Amino acid sequence: MAMRAIPATPDAGTNPPASRAAAPSQSPARAAAQRTTGSGPGLCWVLISAIHYHDARFDCFARETPYRLSMIQITDNDLFAELSPDVERGSFSRQTLFPASSWREIDSRELARSLHRRLDALSPAIVCINGWSVGGCIASLDWCLRRRVPVVLFSDSSEHDEPRRWWKEAIKGRIVRLCSAALIAGKSHRRYVEKLGMPAERIFDGYDVVDNAHFEDGADAARCQDASLRASLGLPANYFIACSRFEAKKNLLGMLDAYAIYRQKAGAGCWPLIILGDGPQCEREALEARRRQLGLDDDVQLPGFKSYRELPIYYGLARAFLHLSTVDQWALVVNEAMASGLPVIVSRRCGSAAELVIDGVNGFTVEPDDHVGIADAMVQIATGGERRRAMGQESRRIIAGWGPQRFARNLAAAVAAAEAAPRPAIHLLDRIILWMVRARSN
């Protein structure tokens, strides 16, 4: 079935942000009901656990597609409850195979049986899978190959995320070539999937986007209540903000080291640093110990995770954003901060850096272990005045081209390419590989 065209999003380099989409001619409730129960062919998205990012993307796609959409999540038990969707969208159905379960503890055979039964019942014409190593996604691919159903692979992996072994890459390549199209994050992810065997004309970007309007509107609303919100939340007049899970690759200890150098350079005009997020107790204790060791207890706040509804407030009242991971496939928090209108300092090891950050225009890219360079970038932003505000405006202009509409438009193109592509031939070795990966991945 041909996909209905989706309006183009603004180009990240030249056009101003698009205005909000016009309201539909019929009531939203009626339109949602028709989309969910429509008679078009089915499209399923299979993933481990849906969070608010996924909902925003799929909801946007739902407005522009004739398909009946279903999201099948293996479990609804995400590590952090704050990431879970807080509203039930009517534009697609959400089905959970193993409620309140840890996906790694689910028996791979039972997972495959349950997933195959659900796919049999839905009988989709297209299936989208998140990655090539998760058991549920591999089981979905196996179901599709047996029924000649095309698969769109979602991926934000790049070649340099981690050390690569030739034999693993060979296995991965065979799995990728069994898919009919791919929706990836950006340039480096495109190169990797193409290297693994996906034809270039069947690769589309825009997978890693957030609901820009949620952060833009929420940040602007917070700025309109600046004084009262700062007083009630105990926020300083100026501060840098970071937001991440507490884990080694996020380089939060290195962030504190860089911040300590910035504090020395800035002197009395030093801005505090607020790090939102949480993680294993050992990671929090290590962060608190480094803060204490550097004498930063009065300058660095660790208020924990904030809900999806609260995040725009903290972004909106901040002056600039930091993200210094040693490795990060994309880093969606960069999207959030830019949609909130902040200048950003981002590690070059993040997949989003090359796509979203223009040095000196909307922020700076840095090496995550260059603590002096990071501190210098912080000084430039903190003392920038009008330039800093212009950088925040540029962030919004750039991120306007990387919202849910980009995901929707390019998923539509990927689906069309998958439908037109010849169905892959599957050999005995492929079946053995799928069985082995599925058995070992949960």
Structure tokens at 245: 């899970």
pLDDT of 36 reads: 46
- Cβ proximity of 365 and 357 under 8 Å: yes
Residue 149 contacts by C-beta under 8 Å, 6 or more apart in sequence?
A: 124, 125, 126, 127, 143
Q: Please write the tens of the pLDDT for every residue from 188-217.
A: 999 999 999 999 999 999 999 999 999 999
Question: pLDDT over 90 for what percent of the chain?
Answer: 73
Average pLDDT, the chain: 88
Helices 108-122 and 428-441: crossing angle in degrees, nearest 10, is 110
pLDDT tier for residue 335 given thresholds of 50, 70 and 90: very high
The mean pLDDT of 137-147, rounded to a whole number, is 93
Domain layout of the chain by residue ranges: 28-209+403-441, 212-399
pLDDT tier for residue 82 given thresholds of 50, 70 and 90: low
pLDDT of 10 reads: 36
Please say if the pLDDT value at position 402 is more than 90.
yes
Domains 28-209+403-441 and 212-399 share a fold: yes
Of the listed ranges 41-45, 81-85, 139-143, 313-317, the least confidently predicted one is 81-85
Please say if the pLDDT value at position 318 is more than 60.
yes
3-state secondary structure of 435: helix
pLDDT of 64 reads: 82
pLDDT tier for residue 435 given thresholds of 50, 70 and 90: confident
- Top-confidence residue, 58 or 105: 58
CATH architecture of 28-209+403-441: 3-Layer(aba) Sandwich (3.40)
Q: Residue 421: exposed, middle, or buried by beta-carbon count in 10 A (0-12, 13-18, 19+)?
A: middle
Residue 73 contacts by C-beta under 8 Å, 6 or more apart in sequence?
A: 46, 47, 48, 49, 50, 94, 95, 96, 97
Distance CA 106, CA 298 (A): 45
Residue 222 contacts by C-beta under 8 Å, 6 or more apart in sequence?
A: 229, 312, 313, 315, 316, 317
Q: Please write the tens of the pLDDT for every residue from 212-226.
A: 999 999 999 999 999
pLDDT tier for residue 53 given thresholds of 50, 70 and 90: very high
Structure tokens at 297: 């207890």
pLDDT of 90 reads: 77
3-state secondary structure of 94: strand
Please say if the pLDDT value at position 289 is more than 60.
yes
Please say if the pLDDT value at position 147 is more than 90.
yes
Distance CA 406, CA 399 (A): 11
pLDDT tier for residue 83 given thresholds of 50, 70 and 90: low
Q: Residue 173: exposed, middle, or buried by beta-carbon count in 10 A (0-12, 13-18, 19+)?
A: middle
pLDDT tier for residue 38 given thresholds of 50, 70 and 90: very low
- Top-confidence residue, 166 or 398: 398
From the options 3.40.50.2300, 3.90.105.10, 3.30.70.980, 3.40.50.2000, give the CATH code of 212-399. Answer: 3.40.50.2000
